Amino acid sequence: MERFGIETEVVDQAVLKRAARHLGEAGIVLPTFAQLADPALIPPRIREALLAIDPDAPHPLNLFRVHWFNAQNRRSFTSVPQHVVLPSSLTGVQAPIVVALGDRFPMIGAHKVLAAYGCLVPRLVTGRFDPVAQRALWPSTGNYCRGGVAISRILGCRGVAILPAEMSEERFRWLGHWVTEPGDIVKTPGSESNVKEIYDRCAELSRDPANVILNQFSQFENHLVHELCTGRAMARIFEAERETHARWRLFGFVSATGSAGTIAAGDHLKQRYGSKTIAVEPVECPTLLENGFGAHNIQGIGDKHVPLIHNVMSTDVITAVSDRATDALAVLFDHPAGLAYLRDRRGVPDALLALLGSFGLSSICNVLAAIKTARAFKLGPDDALLTVATDGAALYRSEIDRVLAERFAGGFDERRAAEVFAEHLASVGVDHLAELSHEDRRRVFNLGYFTWVEQQGVSLPDFEVRRDPSFWTGLREALPRWDERIDAFNRLASGDEP
């Protein structure tokens, strides 16, 4: 697996010892991936200490919160990840749509901090990253680079965010408070759709050997940490719900493709329950669905290419959602008039209304895709769909204000709320959806050739081997080996080993 960057042996002892000394002097202990998949394994003394730690502070113990099991207060842990089952009064479908809430994650209020930890720590504990001499560069369309900067700051190294200039103001404001230097925010041309421009900037920056590119779109660690941690978290949610809904079966896991990290949870769920994996993208840029292109505002889901770490041959359905819908519903879910309409006219429970602030643009996108899936497959009340709210509305206040000004200039009232509900929720159809045949999967897989082989220099054999299911299951062997390395690194950092 070394040729894919999946290194489990120590590459440079000198770098390893220097990194361990650096973290040891700062009193930093690294959680294992097993602990992040099952926080019950985290020592009680750490769990107790966390109660007094601000979840949004760059405190070393917050590394032990980089998982799905944080409570609503984001200080204590839960046995079941925070989630909500959306009622038919909101979705209009009988199928239960179960949404895990990603804004419970520490520091960035989004689950991408898990991917950032997963991409950096294996390098750190195998002597492939020197936190003293090197900079960690985080190419992203928003949340991953924030997670990377947060992890970098805790580990006492330079973290550089690389993201499109047209992302939300809130992302840049957060980064301004967390980066070591202003120059550690690198803005690339365009918006969510302009991933290639990010790659081009990374290619320039990689000429400096002090810069280490942690590309979430091609680092298989991103796939693995989600397959393990997010997959098990989704399974725990499903099992908890099935305690009171014994007839439920898991029909599918719905995830916007993005870097193709989160969607790896579908592999875990498919192996365990035989469920389908539903990939989601924007109508305005239907790359997987139509080999298409374009620009959109569903921030956080990426497009115009097939990520190297996307297990395309395990994807069952592709569907697309319009940013016109996600923009409008973000207003509906945030505005007092919208919430009043949902409560008084649609009968949406107050408990759910209180949680709609946990739904950002890509979260709404996932919900709409789940509704499409339920309609397309005519799912009933026992056919559950799992998905994730990757981040909350707090990251999009400026976007909501923009939509209000541009589309609802006359004000947003109950009439406008009813129109938004009717257009973007009640009338969700089954257009822009395809159930994939084997030939369809081959087509989508082949599309990745142009990005990875022709543009990014991946060898053809390394590109092709990803068709084989055994390649993906074989990757999992790295996880327990990394945990052994993390344990050894922690001992070395504490001075327990020479």
Burial label, 364 (beta-carbon count in 10 A; 0-12, 13-18, 19+): buried
Domains of the chain: 2-78+107-220 (3.40.50.1100), 83-104+223-438 (3.40.50.1100)
Q: Which residues pair with 256 in a beta bridge?
A: 280
Chain-wide mean pLDDT for the chain? 94
Confidence of residue 193 (pLDDT cuts 50, 70, 90): low
| pLDDT tens string 223-268 | 999 999 999 999 999 999 999 999 999 999 999 998 899 999 999 9
- pLDDT attached to residue 154: 97
Mean pLDDT of the 388-411 span: 91
Res. 1: pLDDT tops 70: no
Q: Which of 83-92, 139-148, 459-468, 470-479 has the lowest mean pLDDT?
A: 139-148
Q: Which of 1-10, 326-335, 354-363, 375-384 has the lowest mean pLDDT?
A: 1-10
| pLDDT tens string 275-312 | 999 999 999 988 999 887 877 777 767 567 899 999 99
Strands 83-86 and 97-101: antiparallel
- pLDDT attached to residue 304: 79
- pLDDT attached to residue 191: 67
CA triple 219-222-224, angle to 5 deg? 110
